[in-house]
Amino acid sequence: MNKWISTILSLAALTLVGCSAAQIKSDLVKRASFDLSCSEQELQLTILSKMSACGGDEYHCAQTVGVTGCAKKATYVRTDSGGGPTWVRNSEVQQEPTPKAP
């Protein structure tokens, strides 16, 4: 019986990690969309650093993320407060250079 309870609790914990990872990414995308004046669908995220000794998926472990879209880019840092993780922009929104025509 104890083994079954342990298995169920482990599965529940994995489910919660997956949900919170999706929410963490969603919160970042919404914030970046506002900051960059760019639709969520046009944004590209690049994980620049991860928390050490983290057992979750990529966005659950992400510490710093670069976001590009609509010819702009910015960097975001994850902060964990009592209310849960939050993304804070820690760079100016930069205009990406327009490629020169050949």
pLDDT category, 11, cuts 50, 70, 90?
Answer: very low
Per the domain annotation, does 101 fall within a domain?
no
In a domain, 100, yes or no: no
Per residue in 21-70, pLDDT (tens digit) is 788 899 999 999 999 999 999 999 999 999 887 777 778 888 999 999 99
Does residue 102 lie in a domain region? no
pTM here is 0.73
| Domain count across the chain | 1
22: left (phi over 0), alpha (psi -120 to 50) or beta: alpha
Distance separating alpha carbons of residues 69 and 32, to the nearest angstrom: 9
Q: Does a structural domain hold residue 90?
A: yes
Q: Distance of CA 17 to CAs 28, 37, 71, Å?
A: 17, 30, 33
User: Is 14 inside any structural domain?
Assistant: yes
- Domain range for 56 is 2-95
CA atoms within 13 A on the CB side of 42: 11
- Burial-class residue 77 by CB neighbours within 10 Å (0-12, 13-18, 19+): middle
